[in-house]
Structures are given as C-alpha cells and as structure tokens.
Chain A
C-alpha cells in the first residue's frame, strides 16, 4: 500500500523536522523573536560534519559531535553578541525590538551564507553516511537507511529534550522565563543565562539536523534556506513557542509533504508548508491584539 509507506516515511521525516525546528520554538518561547539565521546553523552543522569527515579524516561517528559542538558555539555567539540589546535595556531601537531582531538575524544569516561561500566555496559536497544502514523493509513500507537514522536520532533527542525541560532545574527555569520574563527575574532566575542556554541548544540541534542530512543532500552555502522556512512553518503551526505543538506540527508537515509530493505536485512540494504558513498567519487571531493580550 503506497499510502502506508507515504505515511510512515512522512512521520519519519516529521521526526527529523521536529529536531530541526524545536530549537527555534524554544527561542521564540523565551525571547519572543524569530531567529532568521536558524537555517544557517543547520548549514554550518552540515558543513562541519562533511568537512570534519572529508578534510580532517575523522570518522563519521566523531564528526557528528563535532558538528553539534560547532552549532552550539555559533548559537552561543549569536545570543551573546547580537541578542543582548533585546533585554539588556540598551538599544537605540527602543520599542522596536521585534524589528531589530528581524534585521539583525537576517543580516547575520546573509553574513554566514556569504562567509561560508567565500571561505569554503560554493561547490556542493556530500558527507559520508553516519552508519551504513541498509534500508529497512517492513511489509509494504520501505524506510531508507539515512532517513531512518535521521528520524531515529530525532526521536531520541526530542525525547531527551522534553525530559530535560520538564525535570531538570535548568529546564524549569527556561519554562519560567518563557512564561513570564519579568516574573522569572523577580524570582531570581538569571534570564540572560536562560536565553544563552536556549540559543546554544538551538544551535546544537539545528547543526545536528544538518549533519544528519549531510549524507543525503549536498551541503552548499544556501542549503539552510528551505529547512529554515520549514522551521518557521512548524513554529507558527505549532503555536509559537509550544514544544508539544511544534512536534505535532512537524509530524503533520512531514506527512503532508510526503503525500503532497506524490498526489499534488513534486515540484511544489516545498511550498505546501509555505502556503499553510501564510494561511495560518492570516487566519489565526494573532498580531497586535490577539497575541499581546488585552489592549488597554
């Protein structure tokens, strides 16, 4: 049955999308901003993995943690250098903090893409597979090896993250900051550190996704564009800041794309999410009045 195969594969991809997007969700939850450089964290992870394996001759199993570390580092740097004005009080942008975040992360994204393009080169390269896993065949369903790994890792990591947020002290602090920043500060929580942690984790997770997909796609400087857009779709669909929401949204997107590619259009398979995003943004009572609570 084709449909079952499409569905299961869609879920698998969805798990991977969840891994990719959950960091963005966390960032939005804590800082109420969208990180437009998210796709580049993913890209850097793919490059780190590929270069470590190819140029440094490191085994793929070691290259993966290297990629994660690279992502964590870039995430930390982003928060430390660029995000401080959002909450340190100092900012010549005053009230327009949302717009500041948009411009700054957008510019950072451009910077990273072109830096990589310049330093490493635009030629695409494919990373070595993490494990040589053959495809798994369960009845009518065919699960390709790399996809299985991607989905599997996604499942494990998301599970771990959820556990972390729920049970650990740091995790609870993050939740507190996400719910009420001022209140969290008054309760003695170091919100700057929470933000730093979230950005670092986000970078690490995005880089991990990039590394996982490096064996399948060619790593080029703008490879982060579509994952970024899909992550945005997931964050919005999932309720802007809700982790369970984004997981559900990721799975839904994976399945939607899987079916859509076959039944609607293969060429446009990447735009389904975009269209959904636009529809959701327009129809959901968000924006000035809905999201910021009572007006007066």
Chain B
C-alpha cells in the first residue's frame, strides 16, 4: 500500500494530549492541506511523521513500511522530507552549499547534485544569491531555500509546515507555482497552513484538526465551509 499512512497516532506531553488518535492517509501524488486553529496539534502531527517525536500510540507507515524508531535523518533518506515552521537553513554556508548538502545527503552524486541545485535555484529565483551565506538571505529567501532543499531528490511525501507564513507575496507565488508544478509531476504534499486562500487554491483535499483530533477530511471546499470547522476556528475548544 503506497503513500503515507498514519494509523491512530497519539502523543501526550506531560498532561497535555497534543495529538489524540489521528488517522489519515495520503496517496502518492495527493496534495493535501492541513488546517486548524493554533494548538490543534498540526505541527506535532508533522513531527510524529518526520521522526522528530515518537508516537505514544499508533504508527506511521511509508509505502507500507513502519517508521517506528527511525531517526529523522533515516526517515528523510527514505523520502519523507520536511520544512520547519521556524525556518532552518545553514547560516554559514552558501545557498548553493545548502542545497548541495541536502542533495549529497540524499545520495546524489556530486555532479548530479550540482546540476539539480542550479535547476532549483533558477526555479526559485535564488540564482542571484547563490553564493551568499544562508544567514545573509532575507526571511522569504531562506524559506524558499529550505523549500528547495526538500526537493533536491523528489521525496515520496513533502511535509511543509507553514511555508507561506510571513513571506512576501511574490515569493509566495514562486513557492505556490513550484508546488503546483511538482504536483503535476506526481509529487505528494501535506501542507500545514493558516493561509486559507492559498490552501483553497492549491489543495484539492484538506484535513482539519482541532484539539488534537481530526474533525474534517475531504474536498477542500466542503471542509472549509463545514460548520464544525468554522466553529472550531471561531472559538470552540481550539485556540
């Protein structure tokens, strides 16, 4: 069974149940949005999938293989790559080196990695700043760079955590365009975002979480107009 499969996953921190029995699956090539008020457990769910947290209950499967106990780097090499909410780039390495690191870590040969890096730089309009250190880039450029690092070798599923947050509209467009293009090529995505218009425009399917549980999962338009979802955002149990 291909794709990402999350089965009855739960995680508690101290007394707080951050994720409570979540099940969802993403088939190969699906572009899925993940929404929900603050504190609903979206980022924790992403961490449980990417290996940064381990589930208290339940399991995560990638193409039928359980990911239990694997470290984040091994999960990444298996094809599950993730962007962080607080952008992380290698600040004292050039943008090009940032991409090369990701590419070589994922197994690309030197020349292949270099070629691919140049393609990505071009696609993300970062060629101009190719030799600048990661720490010298603007916030939006850093986000684009981190985004690019996820695609040095097309992952089986790309997990994006708030990729559009605090990003200049132009750069937002570049990223959205890139997501669309890759989706057409068959890339699967799970995108966490608060930016409803972009989710509505990009993702055919959306999952909504609240207080650690999934409260809606279906075609985006239906989910976003679901009264339960609206209630959650307007001040139900969530934020």
* Chain A interface residues (CB < 8 Å from chain B): 94-95, 294-296
Q: What residues of B have a CB within 8 angstroms of the CB of A296 in the complex? A: 43, 46-47, 52, 84-86, 161
Q: List 15 A-B contacts (CB under 8 A).
A: A94-B91, A94-B92, A94-B135, A95-B91, A294-B13, A295-B47, A295-B52, A296-B43, A296-B46, A296-B47, A296-B52, A296-B84, A296-B85, A296-B86, A296-B161
B27 CB, min distance to chain A CBs, angstroms: 26
Q: Chain A: interface secondary structure?
A: loop
Bound together, the chains give a CA A179 to CA B91 distance in angstroms of 28
Q: What residues of B have a CB within 8 angstroms of the CB of A294 in the complex? A: 13
Top-6 shortest CB links A-B: A296-B47, A296-B52, A295-B52, A296-B84, A296-B43, A95-B91
Q: What residues of A have a CB within 8 angstroms of the CB of B52 in the complex? A: 295-296
- 8 more A-B residue pairs beyond the given contacts A94-B135, A294-B13, with a C-beta to C-beta distance below 8 A: A94-B91, A94-B92, A296-B43, A296-B46, A296-B47, A296-B84, A296-B86, A296-B161
Bound together, the chains give a CA A94 to CA B161 distance in angstroms of 26
User: Which of under 10, 10 to 19, 20 to 34, or 35 or more describes the interface residues of B?
Assistant: 10 to 19
Q: Which of A94, A294, A295, A296 has the most CB of B within 10 A?
A: A296
B43 CB, min distance to chain A CBs, angstroms: 7
Q: What residues of A have a CB within 8 angstroms of the CB of B13 in the complex? A: 294
A116 CB, min distance to chain B CBs, angstroms: 38
Bound together, the chains give a CA A258 to CA B92 distance in angstroms of 49
Bound together, the chains give a CA A287 to CA B47 distance in angstroms of 19
A68 CB, min distance to chain B CBs, angstroms: 43
A21 CB, min distance to chain B CBs, angstroms: 30
Q: Which residue of A lies closest to B85 (CB)?
A: A296
Q: What residues of A have a CB within 8 angstroms of the CB of B47 in the complex? A: 295-296
What 1/0 mask marks residues of chain B from 52 to 87 whose CB sits below 8 Å from any chain A CB? 100000000000000000000000000000001110
Q: Which residue of B lies closest to A289 (CB)?
A: B52
Q: What residues of A have a CB within 8 angstroms of the CB of B161 in the complex? A: 296
What 1/0 mask marks residues of chain B from 173 to 216 whose CB sits below 8 Å from any chain A CB? 00000000000000000000000000000000000000000000
A3 CB, min distance to chain B CBs, angstroms: 41
Q: Which residue of B lies closest to A96 (CB)?
A: B92
Bound together, the chains give a CA A295 to CA B47 distance in angstroms of 9
Q: What residues of B have a CB within 8 angstroms of the CB of A295 in the complex? A: 47, 52
Q: What residues of A have a CB within 8 angstroms of the CB of B91 in the complex? A: 94-95
B193 CB, min distance to chain A CBs, angstroms: 16
Bound together, the chains give a CA A94 to CA B134 distance in angstroms of 13
Bound together, the chains give a CA A296 to CA B84 distance in angstroms of 7
What 1/0 mask marks residues of chain B from 89 to 104 whose CB sits below 8 Å from any chain A CB? 0011000000000000
Bound together, the chains give a CA A294 to CA B43 distance in angstroms of 11
Q: What residues of B have a CB within 8 angstroms of the CB of A95 in the complex? A: 91
B148 CB, min distance to chain A CBs, angstroms: 19
A73 CB, min distance to chain B CBs, angstroms: 37
B206 CB, min distance to chain A CBs, angstroms: 22
Within 8 A of A (CB), among B14-66: 43, 46-47, 52
A84 CB, min distance to chain B CBs, angstroms: 21
Bound together, the chains give a CA A294 to CA B48 distance in angstroms of 13
Bound together, the chains give a CA A94 to CA B136 distance in angstroms of 12
A275 CB, min distance to chain B CBs, angstroms: 30
Q: Which residue of B lies closest to A295 (CB)?
A: B52
A120 CB, min distance to chain B CBs, angstroms: 43
Bound together, the chains give a CA A294 to CA B16 distance in angstroms of 14
A293 CB, min distance to chain B CBs, angstroms: 11
Bound together, the chains give a CA A295 to CA B53 distance in angstroms of 9
Bound together, the chains give a CA A114 to CA B17 distance in angstroms of 57
Q: What residues of B have a CB within 8 angstroms of the CB of A94 in the complex? A: 91-92, 135
B128 CB, min distance to chain A CBs, angstroms: 23
Bound together, the chains give a CA A295 to CA B52 distance in angstroms of 8
Bound together, the chains give a CA A28 to CA B239 distance in angstroms of 35
